[in-house]
Structure 1
Amino acid sequence: MLRAINTVGYVGLLKPAPGTWGSLVAVLVGWAIEHWLGFIPLVIATVAVTALGFWSVRAQLGDSSDDPSEIVIDEVAGQWVALLFPAFGFWSRGLSTGVELHMVWPGAVAAFICFRLFDIWKPWLVGRADRRHDATGVMLDDLWAGVFAGVVTIILAALYHAVFLGMMQ
């Protein structure tokens, strides 16, 4: 059961780059939650998968210092944190559920790309969490990567709207 949870239904067994596969599934499911159910259900799902991840990763790894690549529940939690940023932007403007795909896909794509970059690059707090070499670090590095990816996604959106759309007016 722990393996099914931690590999997110065995997505973590896909090769190559199981973390990327886990992030891709996460962004698609997270976007679907936000699109059809709304921002608040995405927040609830993010908190739930994060809590489940902390429990299940610790239960599987114990005191081991391993971070097996097949464990991707941390990618789901981190990717959903990244998605919360653009989703909040739409929600705060009353555009959460049922928004047409052409309006929201850039935010989800940017969150996905930025999350993967921060998760691979592991700057600052992401790397510090990764260097813990424990179950908590497995989750924390992706949560920090999600926060950084979310912030960069919002910065990119602001630049796009200010610069590109400003030039078109």
Structure 2
Amino acid sequence: MSRIIAIFFGAGLLRPAPGTWGSLAALIVGWGIERYLGFPALVIAFVVATIAGFWACEAELRDRPGEDPSEIVIDEVAGLWLAMLFPAFGFWMRDMSMVWPGPVAAFLLFRLFDIWKPSLVGRADRRHDAKGVMLDDLWAGVFAGVCTVILAVIYHVIIL
């Protein structure tokens, strides 16, 4: 079960760039959850993915200290869903579902911070343990979510 969760039901086995494929799968599933079940369901999905991700990473990496295999993408799922919560909350407050470009911006910014690994993202990545596998993507999700909101404010308040 930990393997299935860690590879997010096979998304982590796609090549090349399994982290991007895992993030894309998370975008599609997360956007669907928010669209058809609502913002609270996305919050629950994020919490479940995060808890399951910490458990699965610990189980999968128990005998492989210091590794961060590319096929483990549950960290990308949790991180992207965290990033998506920022624009989703704004739409929820307006009593509507998330529309383009909010989730797409969250996806692109999440991938940027996940690959670039600035500040706290890089510090978590350098832990070289199962918790670090999850934490770097959660930090990337926070950075991406905040930047998504900043870009939305710039567009809707300053430009329009």
Q: Is the shorter-chain TM-score for this pair beyond 0.5, marking a shared fold?
A: yes
Separation of aligned partners in 2, 1:120 and 1:137 = 15
1:98-150: per-residue Cα shift (whole Å, max 9, x none)? x6xxxx11001100000000000000000000000000000000000000000
Q: Which of 114, 118, 132 is the aligned partner of 1:123?
A: 118
Question: Identity of aligned pairs, percent?
Answer: 69
2:81 counterpart letter in structure 1 = W
1:93 maps to 94
Within a 5 Å distance, the mapping from 1:1-169 to structure 2 comes to 1-62=1-62, 64-96=65-97, 104-165=99-160
Moved more, 118-127 or 63-72: 63-72
Residue correspondences, number: 159
Q: CA deviation at 1:163?
A: 2.7
Cα RMSD, aligned residues only:
1.0
For structure 2, the 5+ residue unaligned runs are none
Could you list the runs of 4 or more consecutive aligned residues of structure 1 that deviate by over 3 angstroms after TM superposition?
none
Separation of aligned partners in 2, 1:74 and 1:157 = 25
Q: CA deviation at 1:2?
A: 2.1
2:116 counterpart letter in structure 1 = W
1:27-57: per-residue Cα shift (whole Å, max 9, x none)? 1110110011100000001000100000011
Please give the secondary structure, in 2, of the residue aligned with 1:71. Answer: coil
What TM-score comes out, normalization by structure 1 length?
0.91
1:134 counterpart letter in structure 2 = D
